[in-house]
Structures are given as C-alpha cells and as structure tokens.
Structure 1
Amino acid sequence: MELILEIVYINLLSPLILFFIIGIIATLVNSDLKVPEAFYTGYTMIILFTIGIQGGTKLKHASLGNMFTVGLAALFLSFLMLVIAYLLIKKVVKFDTPNSLALAAHYGSVSAVTFVAGLSFLDKMEIPYEDFMPAILVIMEGPAIITAIILYKYFTQKTGAESSASMVEVVKEAFFGKSIFLLIGGIFIGLVAHEDGLLMIKPLFGDLFYGVLSIFLLHMGMIATQRIRDLKGLKWYSFAYVFILPIIGGFIGILVGNFIGLSLGGTFILGVLTASSSYIAAPAAIEHSIPEANSGIYVGSSLGLTLPFNLIFGIPIYFWFSSLLVG
C-alpha cells in the first residue's frame, strides 16, 4: 500500500496531471476560461501526428516478429474488453442494448491521451518500453467499435441496401476517422521520411509536444467535469462500471503482457491501453451508427469519469501491478 501511495504521489506531481486538475477546478468554480474550437482541433492534430511520427521512427528498428505477437494479443484484449463491458453493462447495470453496445465500443477501444500519459510516466521513472507500442495503439482503436456496431445491426435486424451502405460508412469512420487516420499518417511519415526532414519538423512535432498536450489536458479537465454535470437522473451506482472496467482491463492487459514476454514498460503500457476507453474515435462512429444510444452516457462515462480515474489513480495502480509481476 505504501508503494502505491508513493507512486500516486509522484503521478499527481506530473505537470500533465496538474493541468488536468486545473481544468477540473476551472469548471467547478465557473471560471470564464475557454479554449477556442479551432485551437482544440489544431492541437489534437499535433498530438496525434506526433504520437504517430515518434512511433514510426522507432518502428524502423523494431522487431516485426515480436510486434506481430503483441498485435495479436492486442486484438484479443480489444475484443475481450468489448465482451466484458457489454455483459457487465447489459446484465448487471441493466442498460438497454443500444447503450450497452455503445459503451462496450468505447471500453473495447483505447485512448491516445491515456497512452501518452502512461509513456510520460515511464519517461519520468526512466523505464524503457518496446518501440512498437504506438502501433499497438492504432491496432486497438478500431476493431471493438466496428464489432459493436455490427452487433447492433444484427440485434436490431437492419438488413438490405441501406444497412450495407451504412456499414461502409461505419468502417470508414472507425478505421479512417480523424484520430486513426492521423496516427497512421504519422507512423507512415516516421517510417519513410529522411532523418534530416524529421529534424526540420521536430520543433513542432516533438519539442512542443508536452506543452501542447498540457493545454489539451487542461481542456479535457474542463470538458470532463461538464460531462459529469450533464449526467442527471441516473443513480450514482449505475456508473460503477467506469471504475470497474478500467481495473479489469488494466490487470488483464498486464497479465497478458507479462505472459507474452513484454518488458516492464511494455507490459505496463499494454495494461494502460486495455484499461483506457475511447472518447474521440468511438463517439464519432457511435453517434451516427447507434443513434438510440445516449451520448451523454457514453461520452460522460468515458471522458468524464474513466479518463480522470485512469490519469490520476489508474496509471499508478497499473504500474504497481506491473512491477509485482515483471519486477
């Protein structure tokens, strides 16, 4: 317990977490602090491109054999969390099918910001990790979203040309929506660009990364708090899954990472990814494909509750558990 508290303390002193907490406070005290929408779009692009470029650069020297094994494990974890989330929310919480599938899509997918916060934590602790982990982030983002929407189409028995056309849009949104497209584009640039060219863009897609991410987390703290405020008329215990699912996912991801032979850093990051939930790619796809689902519930759960939990408490817990297994 003393070790967990020490790790939590270290994590809370991270500038990224402090920016997030300031965003929460700004909303709680009704500050007039605002982040322009155009700025939000711009720094989202910088963050996603930077993750991809750095991952692509490291992939040049990564072992593809090891990456293939971890990629299969990542797909397994994504589908497993989809099933666990759906059964828990549908059978225990008693949400209806559209909301259960919408939430399962979010918790089967992953969060790039939680991923970066995990990397930042490892950098602070000076712990290395496998170079291909950004590619695992990309692998885990789309499959659960697609599967949840296919199940929705099946359960609601929507067939015919209209359904086929809509499924094309679903696949396009899940695999080529903004977040995944920017990550894949960044990985491609990192893989094929000359070193001299990468040095030219390093001031924006490198040196400024954590500064931009800090402002992003300030904004996320504000939005998360507002989303929690919007969750009205539902009993508090109906949202216990927002803390249960990350813990389940984190521990399972860490167990799998240790089983397939990842390093301490890689095992921890796989646990962080499995514990995270999407609030960029998933809402964009679900909003159009499962219109009966309540966006306040799935965005409020993922962004308003699970993201803060993972950033503040989850990351230290997952690192503690990873350290116990891997040592």
Structure 2
Amino acid sequence: MNQIFEIAYANLLSPMVLFFLIGIIAVLVNSDLKVPTAFYTGYTMIILFTIGIKGGIELRNVSFFEMLPAIIAAVFLSIAMLFIAFILVRKIWKFSVEESWAISAHYGSVSAVTFIAGLAFLDKIEMSYESYMSAILVIMEGPAIILAIIFYKIYIQKQGKETDNPNASLKHVVKEAFFGKSIFLLLGGIFIGFVAHADGLLLIRPLFGDLFYGILCIFLLHMGMIATQSLKQLEKLTPYSFLFAFLLPFIGGSLGIFIGQFIGLSLGGAFILAVLTGSASYIAAPAAIAQAIPNANSGIYLGSALGLTLPFNLIIGIPYYYWFATFYY
C-alpha cells in the first residue's frame, strides 16, 4: 500500500498538477488573474491537434484488426459507465431524471486532459503502451453522450414535455457530439498525422510537439480556475451530493484494468484504458448536453466533472490506476 502513496506523492509534484493547483488557489484568494478567451481557444486547439497528430503517426504501424478488440472494449466501457453512473446518481443520490442523464453523459464520455496526464505519467516512468490509444480516446468521446440524450428524449416524449428548440433535435445533438470542436480537432489531427509526409511533420513539431506540455500546463492553470468557480456556484449542495464524482472514477478505472487485461493489452495500455474509463468529459459533453437537456443544472455536471473528478484523477486517480494495474497484472 505504501507504493500507491509514493506514486501519488510523486504525481502531486508534477508540473501539470501544480499548475492546476495554482489555478485553484488563484480563485480562492480572489486574484485578478485571467486567461483571455482567444488564448484559451488557441491552446485548446493546439492540445487537441497534438494528441490527434501523435495518434495518427502511430496508427501508420497498426492494422484495424489489431485495434478491433480495443475498439469493442472502448464502446462497451463507455456505455457501461453511462448506465452505472445513471443508476448511482438517480437511485442513490436522487438527482432528477434530467440531471441524472446529463451527469451520466459526462461520466460515460472521457477527458482528453486526463488522458494526456496518464501518458505523461507513463513517459515519466518509461513504460510502453499500445500506439493506438489516441484513437481509443476519440472512439470513447461520443457514444455515451448520444445514448444519454436518446434516453432523455424518450423520457420527455412519454411525459409529454417535448421541446421545440431546434438545437435540442437529435440530428443537431449527433452533429455536436461527433463533430463538435474537440472530436473534430482530434479526428483532424489523426488524419494529418496519418497521411502527412515525415518532412512536413518535422516542420510543425516545434508547435505541435516541443511546446505541448508547456501549453498544457497553462491550460490546466485555467482549468483549475474554472473548476473552482463552478464549485463556488454550488454552495447550497452538501458534500454528500458529490460523492459520486469520486466513486465513479474508482469504478471506471477498475473496470478499465479488468477489460484491458481480458483483451490482452499491455500493462501500460490497460492503465491508459483505465484512465479513460475513470475520467469525465468537460469539453464535448457540456456543449451537447447544454443544448439537448437545457433544464439540467450545468453547475452540477460541470462542477462534478471538472471541479472534482479532474483534480481527483490528476492527484489520486492516476496513481491508483497504476497501482491497481501492477497489482492485478
């Protein structure tokens, strides 16, 4: 058990986690620190493009059939976490149907930043992993969001509450979930990395490679600020109301290890699958859910996914997933 505390301590001192903590502190002390919106949009694009480009380069050496078990596992885990999350927040935490489906969509989807932090952890300890995991990230983004909205629409139709909002139509939601900013940039990056000439990729490496972790640290600084601001809006809710934000990562991470080992992934690959399954979306899911389930309290699903689950994974989840993977393997 001492190993997990040693890993957690080492991870806590990583620059990414420290930048996130500084963002939290900035809000708590009412600092006037701000990140310009245009800058935020720019470095979000760089981060997502870089993940995709790296994955596309690695996909050149992988066949579809080699990836197929992981693809099936990814879809299964995404859907499984959707229903596990819904049952927990609806039956145990007694959230409304609207908020239960909204929360579940976030926990069935995945976080690109948590994924990057997991890769950085493996790079630090020099452990290899399957090269196609960036593609698995993309695959796990959309299914839970779409299913959550479909089930919510079935519910409101039965209740006679159908809305006339065109942005809440299933067609619009599918477009948002599968071709919204985050997934589109990831897919675009994968395409570029897969088809571009090696000489051309070297020319863009300074921005989409060498500067990546520095930009990511600024992004996490901003995320720490947004997460804390989201939580401050939920002062009326008790701490018990958000225990699911810590329980679901444990469940998802453990399932990811079990399934990863079952389909034959390496230790590093199973760890990354656990990181993905234990994470929660705060980019793709909020964009789709805000339009499709407008009555759900955005503070609850964004506050839990971004304000609680993200820092939990950065500080505790990642060390736990690695410890559990080494223990199970």
Establish whether TM, by shorter chain, passes 0.5: yes
TM-score calculated relative to the size of structure 1: 0.97
CA distance in 1, matches of 2:64, 2:325: 24
Q: Tell me whether 1:313 sits opposite 2:278 in the alignment.
A: no
Q: Which residue of 2 aligns with 1:7?
A: 7
Q: Which residue of 1 aligns with 2:245?
A: 242
Matches within 5 A, 1:145-160: 145-157=145-157
What secondary structure is seen at the aligned counterpart in 2 of 1:206? helix
1:274 Cα shift? 0.1
What secondary structure is seen at the aligned counterpart in 2 of 1:156? helix
What secondary structure is seen at the aligned counterpart in 1 of 2:127? coil
CA distance in 2, matches of 1:72, 1:34: 42
Q: Which residue of 2 aligns with 1:26?
A: 26
Matches within 5 A, 1:1-327: 1-157=1-157, 166-326=169-329
1:113 Cα shift? 0.2
| Structure 1 pair 87–211 and aligned structure 2 pair: CA distance change class (3 A) | same
C-alpha distance after superposition, 1:42-90 (max 9, x if no partner): 0000000000000000010124222111000000000000000000000
CA distance in 2, matches of 1:66, 1:199: 28
Structure 2 letter corresponding to 1:57: I
Identity %: 67
TM-score calculated relative to the size of structure 2: 0.97
CA distance in 2, matches of 1:226, 1:164: 27
Once the two structures are overlaid, the 10-residue window that deviates more, 89-98 or 55-64, is: 55-64
CA distance in 2, matches of 1:44, 1:163: 28
| Structure 1 pair 144–194 and aligned structure 2 pair: CA distance change class (3 A) | same
C-alpha distance after superposition, 1:227-246 (max 9, x if no partner): 11111211210111000001
1:299 Cα shift? 0.5
1:162 Cα shift? 7.4
**Kept after mapping to 1: 8 A contact 2:156/2:162:** no
Gapped regions of structure 2 (runs ≥ 5): none
C-alpha distance after superposition, 1:80-131 (max 9, x if no partner): 0000000000000000100000000000000000000000000001001000
- Number of positions where the alignment pairs a residue of Structure 1 with one of Structure 2: 326
CA distance in 2, matches of 1:161, 1:323: 51
C-alpha distance after superposition, 1:127-159 (max 9, x if no partner): 010000000000000000000000010001167
| Structure 1 pair 8–161 and aligned structure 2 pair: CA distance change class (3 A) | closer
1:180 Cα shift? 0.2
CA distance in 1, matches of 2:282, 2:66: 29
What secondary structure is seen at the aligned counterpart in 1 of 2:169? helix
| Structure 1 pair 159–298 and aligned structure 2 pair: CA distance change class (3 A) | closer
Gapped regions of structure 1 (runs ≥ 5): none
CA distance in 1, matches of 2:295, 2:163: 20
CA distance in 1, matches of 2:164, 2:308: 38
CA distance in 2, matches of 1:223, 1:242: 17
CA distance in 2, matches of 1:164, 1:85: 25
**Kept after mapping to 1: 8 A contact 2:168/2:293:** no
**RMSD of Structure 2 on Structure 1 (CA):** 1.4
C-alpha distance after superposition, 1:7-59 (max 9, x if no partner): 00110121111111111111111111110010000000000000000000001
Structure 2 letter corresponding to 1:93: W
CA distance in 2, matches of 1:48, 1:216: 12
**Kept after mapping to 1: 8 A contact 2:168/2:291:** no
